Amino acid sequence: MSIVDAKEMLLKATEEKYAVGAFNITNLIQMEAVVEAAVNKRAPLIIQTSVTPSKFLAPKVLVAIYKTLAESAPIPICLHLDHCIDVEYCKQCADAGYTNIMIDASKQVFKENIRQTKQVCDYCHGIGSISVEGELGTVSGVEDQVKVAEDEASLCDPKQALEFVDQTGIDIFAPAIGTAHGVYKTKNPKLDFNRLKEISELINGDEPKVPLVIHGGTGLQPDVVKKLVSLGGSKFNVSTELKHTLIDTTHDYISSHRDEYNPGKIDAAVKEGIINGIYYWIDILGCAGKA
Ligand code: 13P
């Protein structure tokens, strides 16, 4: 039951109005931590890697570790490639065994975004049930190789969203609604809830068809997260927070144990920090007990 199709996992979430946490990891300790937290909460899980850590660790190595952890876990778990702007690398990761691929051609003009996204969909659907995520509009901030300045960001046009979904054949859709990658500059960033509602009704109004993704989870207030989920967000991406936990916990541990040379203890501290962070997300996303 553990290695599954993301679309099925997220259609269930859309129908039952909860969201699945999609957590970006950069190393083995983080991957083990997110799996352990999700197993303890009996929550479905999406593990994500951005392109740089994917290339650094190698897709086949990541897939081997993912499969080893997922096969013995009593919950469904997917492995997702996040924000890839290169069609060929999307195909390489699909071949290696990632179960979801995000082609991010959102900086391209509409027609080119459709062309590249469809190319990845055709490839992934042709080699098996690999789900593909596409994005329309642009999410501001920095996510690995994708950088969008605030004044460059554009929100998703609901009518174009329908056309994009129909013409590409995507399984999962990320509409830009004002969330941002990285740390928010204000406590209450300006989000377009009505736009999300409209897109959700247009695409999934009659029955759930293409689950919606919310990017830029780090720093959003819990009531905002819950509102985004109630309006139809069923995959919720969190990345920056895990990087901060990894670096801050390592720094704090070493600062207070400067004479100790025991890497395992640093790893244990990082793992504990990540697990506690994931418990928080699983609780506010409402996916505890849904596996
Ligand atoms: P944050 O880094 O803001 O949590 O965003 C994560 C994300 O959307 C990854 O695709």
Q: What's the pLDDT band for 13 if we cut at 50, 70, 90?
A: very high
The one-character DSSP state at 32 is H
In this predicted structure, the answer to whether residue 248 has a pLDDT above a threshold of 90 is yes
User: How many angstroms does the Cα of residue 260 sit away from the middle of ligand 1?
Assistant: 34
- pLDDT score at 185: 85
Tokens 């936990």, residue located: 245
pLDDT one-digit tens code per residue, 55-72? 999 999 999 999 999 999
Handedness of CA 182, 186, 191, 193 (dihedral sign): positive
Question: Which amino acid, 148?
Answer: V
Q: What's the pLDDT band for 1 if we cut at 50, 70, 90?
A: low
CA angle 14, 90, 159 (to 5 degrees): 45
Give the number of the atom of ligand 1 that is nearest the alpha carbon of residue 102: 10
User: How many angstroms does the Cα of residue 256 sit away from the middle of ligand 1?
Assistant: 30
In the chain, % of residues over pLDDT 70: 99
CB 99 within 8 A of CB 3: yes
User: How many angstroms does the Cα of residue 140 sit away from the middle of ligand 1?
Assistant: 10
- pLDDT score at 73: 96
Mean pLDDT over all residues of the chain?
95
Quick one: average pLDDT of 6-22? 96
Closest C-alpha to ligand 1, atom 5:
216
Q: Is the pTM of this model over 0.95?
A: yes
Q: How far apart are CA 123 and CA 89, in angstroms?
A: 12
Left, alpha or beta for 25 (phi > 0: left; psi -120 to 50: alpha)? beta
Q: Which residues are catalytic?
A: 82
Q: Which residues line ligand 1 (CB under 6 A)?
A: 24, 82-83, 143, 181-182, 215-218, 237-241
| More confident site: 185 or 14 | 14
Quick one: average pLDDT of 172-197? 93
